[in-house]
Amino acid sequence: MLEIKGLKVKLEDEDKQILKGVDLKVEAGKVHAIMGPNGSGKSTLSYVLSGRDGYEVTEGSATLEGEDLLDLEAEERAALGLFLAFQYPVEIPGVGNMTFLRTAVNAQRKARGEDEMSAADFLKVIRAKAKTLKIDADMLKRPVNVGFSGGEKKRNEILQMAMLEPKMCILDETDSGLDVDAMKLVSEGVNALRSEGRGFLVITHYQRLLDHIKPDVVHIMANGRIVKTGGPELALEVEQNGYADILAEAV
Amino acid sequence: MSLLQAKQEATAAQLSGTTVPAGAGWITSLREDALARVRQMGLPTRRDEYWKYTRPETLVEAAVKPAAPFKHDEAPLFDEINRLKIVFVDGVFDADASDDLPGENLTIERLADVAQADIHWAKDIYGALETKGQTPVDRPLAAYNTAMATDGVVIRVTGEVSRPINLIYKHESDVSDVVLHHVVKVEEGGKVTLLENGPAAARFNNVLEVEIADKAEFHHVRAQGRDHERRAATHMFTRLGTESVFKSFTLTVNGVLTRNDCVIELTGDDAIAHVAGACVGDGDFHHDDTVFITHDAVACESRQVFKKVLRNGATGVFQGKILVKAGAQKTDGYQISQSLLLDGDSQFLAKPELEIYADDVACSHGSTSGAIDEEGLFYLRARGVPKDIATDLLTLAFLAEAVDEIEDADLAGEILGRLEGWLERRRG
């Protein structure tokens, strides 16, 4: 599904190398988690994959089902089936949540040469999906993320994911700012989307999210590289001992 | 020679031989008085404080700059609205194209007819609100209008008027130089909505005087036409009584030069005045909103919301002032002017002013100028929305805050439709 090879990335404006050779392969149907201390490059990886400006790829490649991602615009990557759930969802005053989502769904369909979804069909689908995420009609009408609580914003990210039905989902610290109940709700939303054909890359600081979204593979990232890969037990090890031991071992 | 003397001499030279239009005694004396005031204050020049950012020459000079009427295939604005149509073609009332004038709780007359009447209630308003609005800032183009206007409508509202009155301006001649003057009197408890749209003329000088009595409401939605080469100077003067409401919104799409002055005087307690504008300019476009709001009563609310989207070297100007007189306690004044500059060539010039002589008031103002929000743009693109559509969505969202000031959802929808059309045409 997603294949990253020897990816090296620096900031566009300054000579600062952030990713120093990342290799990673997420298969369809699998959930991979990336854990790592602050500043290890986890969020940068998610931004580079989704096409945010400000980064320069100096070496390596990233492909989604064999298609080169790095040459594509952000919207083209999305249409291919890549989805990033933002750590900090952006507030967009003046654009209604519903308008935003319908524009996005239909833009992706159009890019893939599919028919656009009618307003009535869209409404039917979004209502059902919103309900399971406990997103009420008012939240759908309000401007995108404006005045939403931390939990509402993250739920809104998962709703977008559910509507867009991507092949590859990257969740960037989706647990940050969530209380226990909200984390459970969001995790259930994610779990409902797990399927044979879909890959997940879950970026998180803490093991607790992985209690709810059970990963198949856990990677530890430090200083711009993946330093260790293992099963779910690796996350528990981090939880108990911190990163210090693993990092020492990696050096 | 002082600046004023120089202006007076230039104005005297330009207006030598100018006489006011023929009419009944009462209006002739008002017109002559107005012409004398123009000679006294002089026509505007670039050296005047409130004409620093907008060149008045083409609005003032004797010969009008030709402007071709613009042909387009958009459906007429407000077409979906059940309204009473009053049509002016190159500044002349067109009875055939207009609806029958009388309506419930309403009398409408042509200024041309009113001006021939021996006596008319309009004499207490015609030029009176304009004259009041000359202090403390001269508005000579408005005084000139009072002196020279021969057509317009004179409206009296005595109760709630169910459908909006729509003044439709049509521009047909390349060299039309139009002066229209409208008077509206909304009596106690009355409520009316006035719509104005169309480009009117190659050069348009429009004055609207609105007297709003206690507990009366006046709503106004205006769209200034797309004709690229047209020029316009408009003035709105309004006086509000106790617990009355004034809400005005203006959309300006293109036009080489537009200057909109709005002068509001809150004279009765608990009155509300909102004035808003959205403008979109591309290329050779200059748009100036100049607002002067005077709080002269207790617990009044005023609100100014102006949004401008500019590209390809377009210029936007905002000059907005809130004056709170001594004794106008519990005033709630708000002003925001913002521009979205879609490229580095465009400019926005803003001069917000507050002058407060009461000690228990809340007044705030803000002015910003910026580009499209990159964070928002990336967020939309990461969801699959192409860059041009995402940019339009954010642009429309920016303008929507001004359009939201229109209370009636159908009218707001008509205006949003125009803005979407503008964006779509630019996307090609």
Q: What is the pLDDT of residue B160?
A: 96
Q: Distance, in angstroms, between A173 CA and closest chain B CA?
A: 16
pLDDT higher at B155 or A112? B155
Tell me if B382 and A78 make a contact (CB, 8 A cut-off): yes
SS3 per residue for A137-184: HHHHHCEECCCCCHHHHHHHHHHHHHHHCCCEEEEECCCCCCCHHHHH
Q: In this structure, is residue B307 part of a structural domain?
A: no
How much is the average pLDDT of A23-31? Answer: 94
State the angle between helix axes of A180-193 and A150-164 in degrees (0 to 180), rounded to the nearest 10: 0
CA of A217 to nearest chain B CA: how many angstroms apart? 26
Q: Write the residue in A84, A93, A95 that is nearest to B382 by C-beta.
A: A84
Residues B379 and B251 in one domain: no
Chain B residues with CB-CB distance to A104 below 8 A: 380, 383-385
Residue B403 lies in a domain: yes
Question: Searching chain B, which residue's CA lies closest to the CA of residue A145?
Answer: B376
Q: Domain for residue B279, yes or no?
A: no
The C-alpha atoms of residue A139 and residue A65 are separated, in whole angstroms, by 35
Shared-domain flag, residues B63 and B182: yes
Residues B24 and B158 in one domain: yes
In a domain, B336, yes or no: no
| Residues in B touching A113 (Cβ below 8 Å) | none
Count up the domains in chain B and report the number: 2
Question: Across the interface, which of B374, B384, B396 has its CB nearest the CB of A75?
Answer: B384
Count the Cβ atoms, other than its own, within 10 Å of residue B340: 24
Range of the domain at B400: 372-428
Residue of A nearest to B397 (CA): A94
Comparing A50-54, A163-167, B98-102, B189-193, the range with the smallest average pLDDT is B98-102
Residues B347, A237: Cα–Cα separation, whole Å: 58
DSSP characters over B348-365? EEEEEEEEE--SS-EEEE
Q: Is residue B399 part of a domain?
A: yes
pLDDT given for residue B168 in this prediction: 97
Q: Of B236, B268, B300, which marks where a domain is finished?
A: B268
Last residue of a domain, one of B221, B253, B268: B268
Residues B35 and B149 in one domain: yes
- The pLDDT assigned to A251 comes to 55
pLDDT at A250: 64
Taking only the tens of pLDDT, chain B with its 428 residues reads 788 999 999 999 999 989 999 999 999 999 999 999 999 999 999 999 999 999 999 999 999 999 999 888 888 999 999 999 999 999 999 999 999 877 789 999 999 999 999 999 999 999 999 999 999 899 999 999 999 999 999 999 999 999 999 999 999 999 999 999 999 999 999 999 999 999 999 999 999 999 999 999 999 999 998 888 999 999 999 999 999 999 999 999 989 999 999 999 999 999 999 999 999 999 999 999 999 999 999 999 999 999 999 999 999 999 999 999 999 999 999 999 999 999 889 999 999 999 999 999 999 999 999 999 999 999 999 999 999 999 999 999 999 989 999 999 999 999 999 999 999 888 86
Residue type, B361: V
Position B354 in a domain = no
B365 lies in some domain = no
- Cα B48 to Cα B68: distance, rounded to the nearest angstrom: 30
* Same domain? B250 vs B395: no
% residues pLDDT > 70 (chain A): 99
Cα–Cα dist B236/B291, whole Å: 9
Give the bridge partners for B348, in sequence order.
B316
What's the pLDDT at A79?
93
The reply to whether residue B401 touches residue A90, judged by beta carbons under 8 angstroms, is: no
Tokens of A89: 């969802």
pTM given for the model: 0.89
Give domain status of residue B155, yes or no.
yes
Residue B375 to chain A, least CA–CA distance (Å) = 7
Q: Per the CB < 8 Å rule, is B381 touching A51?
A: yes
> Which of B268, B301, B334 marks a domain boundary?
B268
Count of alpha carbons within 13 angstroms of residue A28, beta-carbon side: 11
The kind and range of the H/E element at A209 are helix A208-212
Nearest CA in chain A to B396: A94
Which residues of chain A have a CB within 8 Å of the CB of B378? 52-53, 74, 90
Residues of B with Cβ-Cβ distance to A107 under 8 angstroms: 384-386, 389
pLDDT at site B36 = 97
Query: What is the nearest CA distance from B82 to chain A, expressed in angstroms?
Result: 27
